[in-house]
Structure 1
Amino acid sequence: MRKWVVILTSVFIVILLGVAGYAAYIYQSVKTTAHQIYEKRDATVQPKPVSMEGKSTPSTSAAGAGVTEQPSSAQATAQPINLEEKKPFTVLVLGVDEREHDRGRSDVMIFMTVNPAKQSILMFNIPRDTRTEIIGHGTVDKINHAYAFGGVNMSVKTVEHFLDYPVNYYIKVNMEGFAHLIDSMGGVEVNNPFAFYYEGHQFEKGDLQLDGEEALLYSRMRYDDPRGDMGRNTRQRQILKQVIKNSLKITNVVKIESLLAEVGDSVKTDITFDDMKTFLTDYRTDLKQIDQVEISGQGERINGIWYYLVSDKERSRIHNLIKEHLQ
């Protein structure tokens, strides 16, 4: 009898050691991938002029075009966030279409404020055609061109200037990689306000279950939308909102490893591995609501180029919404 007790005990210990070893392996794998996608922001913007058709004029000629001529107080670098105290923070999500030998442009720019005390996230698109000063480049141009001129650093500084509010973290996502992430989560559910056909896919009106490729197409259509770029922005937020909701439900470390493996080659962020762990353990259960707003403006051609003009009054309104949500 004692022999069987010894054998069973030994087997049990081996199983425990195996499970512990596998858990350690998974943890190390997640940590390694998190380090791979980590890319620290450079506080000093290095201008990288790019020859682009339709490049606009220097900021000294921007008066009357919905652009502030001088940099605002937002140029101050964002202060470190004490996540262990569940402090609120801001995130800039950049969706880019990178091409071979071409950095591409940030066709998606979504700003989020995260406040666990209010149990909510506030998010809004910055329309890609928004006319503003490109910080570090000396021009006034479409805000999504900041990425083409100077990558993440110039995009962040330009957004900070435009909103007069610091960016605590950024997440840069290659859109094709974003589709793989959605597939790993089992797709996303959206409510489509009207039927449309786009690039070989029919999207019916009503509730839809989309895989990664379909979600990408759904978020890209613009010309058949009665609201144009604003309608596309709404669909982009729909997709991101569902991805966030699905992410907040994840508790299995094996699933986290799978997701990070999917996005490893497509994502860069200045969120550290330790911060990721804090989000998962301390913030996840506190975020129950995602609110959305829009930046109002009007389209106008200036020197033959189409821009989205946002008034100083509207910029102040958005700034105050950010400030209020983070308090």
Structure 2
Amino acid sequence: MNNRMDRHRQHKRGRWIALGVVIACLLGIFYGLNTIYRSVSSSLSDSYTKIHEKGGRPADAIIRKGQPISILLMGTDTGALDRTDKGRTDTMMLITVSKTKGIHLVSIPRDTMIAIPGLESTFPQKINSVYTFTNVSDTMSTISKYLNVPVDYFALVNMGGLEKLVDQIGGITVKSPLSFTFSTDTSHETGKNLYQFYKGKTTFRYAKDGVHFKTYHKMNGKAALAFTRMRYEDPRGDYGRTERQRLVIAQLVKQAKNPALLLNKTFMSSISKNLRTNLTTKDMLSLATEYYNPKKKVKAISVNETSLWYEGISFQVMPRLEQQRVTNELRSDLSLTHATTGPVLAGNPDKFTIPQAVSQVLYANTSSNSQAATSN
């Protein structure tokens, strides 16, 4: 195994998909459209890939009791643009679903530095490489250990779903937070299939040949993918890209309120080919019929990390105080008692050495006593 797999330059093609596709496949979570959902459940049962990875709790029993659950949403950078390899989970979102508190989302930055449990000799790694090195089960376990919260279910989707989803709902209108030019061929400002977005405007320009531009008022799937992929020209880096992802997600949710656009057998069969999950159709129906609360909105919980270059690689480091704050939020959402957050950088601290520069970020604004108290 190459113990520096993630040292190579990240593939610059599409970086996120998970939530948009899962909105289609798990739409009942948001809108409780159980009647229509039942009409396509047989199609779903036959077409999406079910695997039997389990979290740390008897989640099916938890759903039967109506208690809060968690779902790890992972989007791989494969399945479109000619990518067919296993890929990395460049989108990772932990979603909590509660009858009383609604739906909360925690986006975990793809460049978050960790030591993969059981593979600490490969430290440092990025959290999006856990799946590449291991499997779905170990990825669920790593997130669970890192934040000290149970991960009950997962949904793993690839890039092949976003274009279909946006096109199926007839496109979306999004106001860009900044001006930028992006080629889906080169991932830079020049090349063919060139898009130009403008700050404060919903209109954008596109040139297939990179020269002759036309103006458009609504994004199709390819345009939405380009809008969310750009990273290197954004002065806010991953945080800016995350904002653009949220803008697209908000429009997807808004458009998806029309069930006729999505909940039909042809589309569900097509989109579900891009999905792997351990949620059964029965689980989905239970979430749709029992957990839906129209008065509870979807809430995004931000994660504040610090950028750090280490051995020529750009990482995001989550300070221990921030790690504890996120744990507190998630455990509260899941109606669990307060507990200390998970291990430093997720791995066994006896099996790897934390560089001083990283340690300074981890324990910023904490005393030596609090450092010792939270380092176990």
Q: Indicate whether the TM-score tops 0.5.
A: yes
Q: In the alignment, what sits opposite 1:40?
A: 51
Aligned pairs for 1:159-174 within 5 A: 159-174=143-158
SS at match of 1:181: helix
State the one-letter code of the partner of 1:94: M
- The offset of 1:169, in angstroms, is 1.5
Aligned pairs for 1:6-45 within 5 A: 30-42=41-53
Aligned pairs for 1:275-314 within 5 A: 275-286=283-294, 288-314=296-322
Deviations 1:37-67 (A, max 9, x none): 2422435xxxxxxxxxxxxxxxxxxxxxxxx
Q: In the alignment, what sits opposite 1:226?
A: 235
Q: In the alignment, what sits opposite 1:14?
A: none
Q: Which has the larger radius of gyration?
A: 1
User: Which piece of structure 1 moves more, 91-100 or 141-150?
Assistant: 91-100
Please give the alpha-carbon distance, in whole angstroms, between the structure 1 residues aligned to 2:57 and 2:248. Answer: 28
Q: In the alignment, what sits opposite 1:123?
A: 105
Please give the alpha-carbon distance, in whole angstroms, between the structure 2 residues aligned to 1:124 and 1:313. Answer: 16
- The offset of 1:145, in angstroms, is 0.6
SS at match of 2:135: helix
User: Matched residue pairs, number?
Assistant: 269
Deviations 1:7-56 (A, max 9, x none): xxxxxxxxxxxxxxxxxxx967642433432422435xxxxxxxxxxxxx
SS at match of 1:206: coil
Residues 205 and 270 of structure 1, relative CA distance in 2, 3 Å threshold:
same
Structure 1 stretches (4+) deviating beyond 6 angstroms?
A: none
Residues 123 and 142 of structure 1, relative CA distance in 2, 3 Å threshold:
same
State the one-letter code of the partner of 1:230: Y
- The offset of 1:264, in angstroms, is 2.3
- The offset of 1:156, in angstroms, is 1.6
- The offset of 1:84, in angstroms, is 4.6
The answer to whether the 8 Å contact 1:134/1:154 transfers is no
The answer to whether the 8 Å contact 2:113/2:126 transfers is yes
User: Which piece of structure 1 moves more, 80-89 or 225-234?
Assistant: 80-89
Q: In the alignment, what sits opposite 2:180?
A: 196
- The offset of 1:219, in angstroms, is 1.2
TM-score normalized with structure 2 length: 0.64
Please give the alpha-carbon distance, in whole angstroms, between the structure 2 residues aligned to 1:227 and 1:282. Answer: 39
Please give the alpha-carbon distance, in whole angstroms, between the structure 1 residues aligned to 2:56 and 2:223. Answer: 38
- The offset of 1:317, in angstroms, is 0.4
- The offset of 1:254, in angstroms, is 7.8
Please give the alpha-carbon distance, in whole angstroms, between the structure 2 residues aligned to 1:116 and 1:286. Answer: 10
Please give the alpha-carbon distance, in whole angstroms, between the structure 1 residues aligned to 2:332 and 2:44. Answer: 35
Q: In the alignment, what sits opposite 1:102?
A: 85
User: Which piece of structure 1 moves more, 282-291 or 311-320?
Assistant: 282-291
Q: In the alignment, what sits opposite 1:266?
A: 274
Please give the alpha-carbon distance, in whole angstroms, between the structure 1 residues aligned to 2:231 and 2:319. Answer: 24
Q: In the alignment, what sits opposite 1:150?
A: 134
The answer to whether the 8 Å contact 1:89/1:115 transfers is yes
The answer to whether the 8 Å contact 1:125/1:237 transfers is no
Aligned counterpart for 1:91 among listed residues 71, 74, 81: 71
State the one-letter code of the partner of 1:196: F
Please give the alpha-carbon distance, in whole angstroms, between the structure 2 residues aligned to 1:223 and 1:100. Answer: 21
SS at match of 1:128: coil
Q: In the alignment, what sits opposite 1:79?
A: 58
- The offset of 1:149, in angstroms, is 0.8
Structure 1 residue runs of 5 or longer lacking an equivalent are 1-25, 44-75
State the one-letter code of the partner of 2:67: K
Residues 275 and 242 of structure 1, relative CA distance in 2, 3 Å threshold:
farther
Structure 2 residue runs of 5 or longer lacking an equivalent are 1-36, 184-193, 203-217, 336-376
The answer to whether the 8 Å contact 1:122/1:292 transfers is yes
More helix by share: 1
The answer to whether the 8 Å contact 1:178/1:266 transfers is no
Please give the alpha-carbon distance, in whole angstroms, between the structure 2 residues aligned to 1:238 and 1:38. Answer: 29
Please give the alpha-carbon distance, in whole angstroms, between the structure 1 residues aligned to 2:223 and 2:74. Answer: 20
The answer to whether the 8 Å contact 1:92/1:112 transfers is yes
Q: CA RMSD in A?
A: 2.7
- The offset of 1:196, in angstroms, is 1.8
Residues 77 and 238 of structure 1, relative CA distance in 2, 3 Å threshold:
same
Residues 277 and 42 of structure 1, relative CA distance in 2, 3 Å threshold:
closer
The answer to whether the 8 Å contact 1:30/1:260 transfers is no
- The offset of 1:103, in angstroms, is 0.7
The answer to whether the 8 Å contact 1:38/1:271 transfers is no
State the one-letter code of the partner of 2:277: T
